[in-house]
Amino acid sequence: MASLVKIAPRSKLGSMALAAAVICLVGGGCARARYYQATKLPPELLMPPVENVRTVDLSRLATASVSNDLIAAGDVLQVNIETGYAAEDDSSLVVRVGEDGIANVPLIGRLPLASLRLVGAEQAIGAAAVDRHVFRNPTVTVVMKQKQVNKVMVIGAVENPGVYELPRGSSSLLSAIVAAGGLGDEAGTTVQIRRSALSRGPNAPPLDRVTPAGFRQPAPAVQQVSYHVDLIEASKQDRADHHLQDGDVVMVQRRDLQPFDVIGLVSKPGRFELPPNKELYLLDALAMAGGVSTQWADKIHVTRQSRDQAQPVVIVVSIKEAKRHGKGNLRLGPGDVVSVEGTPTTLVTDAIKVVAPYSITALIPFIW
């Protein structure tokens, strides 16, 4: 009598499951789902390989390297001019190259120095001094005193978020990521670049007219512009020029959570997360759920939402085939539901465990 009391709850559960199955079949609620064998799965239902963003070739995100002696807008130069006469006639000047590439060298005047190397700047300054009758035969030496830099903030899924100074001529997206210590473990494949664009106020006078006395220029409005870069796609392009500007913010977005579920005859059913930058297969998922709760479980249903079909599909998998054949060990993806199904064998063995837990080992060979 005691054994009947123990069996009753399980019998009730089995009856409820059977009733649900009958209702499902009669009512047609399960007819919508299409069933596929794991070993004969069409390509469109296979999960694509996982792209590891930390191992992709990001060298295409780098801009062309710029030599340290190449003069650019904003650079500060030390210009020494020796006239060959009295020492007091010699001069040592500090010159800044304007945003238009023009440098105003005292006594000599305005000269386009941007895009010249230091040797070329020395020749240009010396030639201008002679042509403009400032010096007869000067010796000019130009030294790079300070390179112009862009201050870029790098945040998000990087090892060391912060503000970094990058040479203006080499302010590439790759340089910013490398300066921040590289991508973090939770990095996704998308990077957002935010840029502030200053706009003049609507009541500001035109730039080509005289400003009226007493006019107060309103503070410029700051407009935030941004665009996204897919690191995987950018690594496949022949050239991906993503040059950063001063004040840009680089946001390496974190990987979205990619959950999947394991239910049914497992020791620890529940929701799990796919590991980042790593492929997860069916047998791995069972291990994460503590393994099957009974050694006689073999049938698995993997419910998967296909992009091409409105209704999810059900992939039938055998644990034995998954262990023997690679095709049976499915690669899982976000949203998959792995259900270890009960079978007549598992129902009978569960009942025998309740009725005669000590004789189960002797009875199994006769029912298997």
Across all residues in the chain, what is the average pLDDT? 79
Q: Which pLDDT does position 48 carry in this prediction?
A: 86
The angle at the Cα of 153, spanning 150 to 156, to the nearest 5 degrees, equals: 150
Mean per-residue pLDDT, 79-91: 76
Is the pLDDT at 276 greater than 90, yes or no?
A: no
Q: Which pLDDT does position 203 carry in this prediction?
A: 47
Mean per-residue pLDDT, 294-298: 89
Is the pLDDT at 29 greater than 90, yes or no?
A: no
**Cα gap 4→89, rounded to integer Å:** 115
Mean per-residue pLDDT, 59-71: 76
Q: Which pLDDT does position 207 carry in this prediction?
A: 45
Residues 6+ apart with CB under 8 A from 234: 58, 60, 61, 240, 242
The yes/no answer on whether domain 32-51+258-367 falls in CATH 3.30.70.560 is: no
Mean per-residue pLDDT, 184-212: 66
Q: Which pLDDT does position 240 carry in this prediction?
A: 64
Tell me which range, 81-85, 205-209, 265-269, is most confidently predicted by mean pLDDT.
265-269
The two domains 32-51+258-367 and 76-146 share their CATH topology (first three levels equal): no
Is the pLDDT at 356 greater than 70, yes or no?
A: no
Distances (CA, A) of 269 to 13, 279, 285, 351: 18, 20, 10, 21
- State which fold the 150-201+218-254 domain adopts: Outer membrane lipoprotein wza fold like (3.10.560)
Say how many C-beta atoms besides its own lie within 10 A of residue 107's C-beta: 11
| Phi and psi torsions of 262, nearest 5° | -125, 120
Q: Of 139-143, 292-296, 305-309, which gets the smallest average pLDDT?
A: 305-309
Q: Which pLDDT does position 232 carry in this prediction?
A: 84
Mean per-residue pLDDT, 240-265: 89
Q: Which pLDDT does position 311 carry in this prediction?
A: 84
Q: Which pLDDT does position 53 carry in this prediction?
A: 78
The yes/no answer on whether domain 76-146 falls in CATH 2.102.10.10 is: no
Residue-range domain boundaries for the chain: 32-51+258-367, 76-146, 150-201+218-254
Q: Of 53-67, 142-156, 221-235, which gets the smallest average pLDDT?
A: 53-67
Is the pLDDT at 76 greater than 80, yes or no?
A: yes
Mean per-residue pLDDT, 306-327: 84
Is the pLDDT at 135 greater than 70, yes or no?
A: yes
Mean per-residue pLDDT, 270-284: 90
Q: Which pLDDT does position 52 carry in this prediction?
A: 76
Q: What is the largest CA-CA distance in the chain?
A: 123
Is the pLDDT at 55 greater than 80, yes or no?
A: no
Tokens 């999810």 correspond to: 312
Which of residues 253 and 8 earns the better pLDDT score? 253
Which of residues 122 and 345 earns the better pLDDT score? 122
Buried (b) or exposed (e) across 234-245, using 16+ Cβ within 10 A?
Answer: bbeeeebebebe
Say how many C-beta atoms besides its own lie within 10 A of residue 348's C-beta: 15
How many percent of the chain have pLDDT more than 70?
A: 76
Q: Which pLDDT does position 186 carry in this prediction?
A: 84
With bands split at pLDDT 50, 70 and 90, how would you rate the model's confidence at 33? low
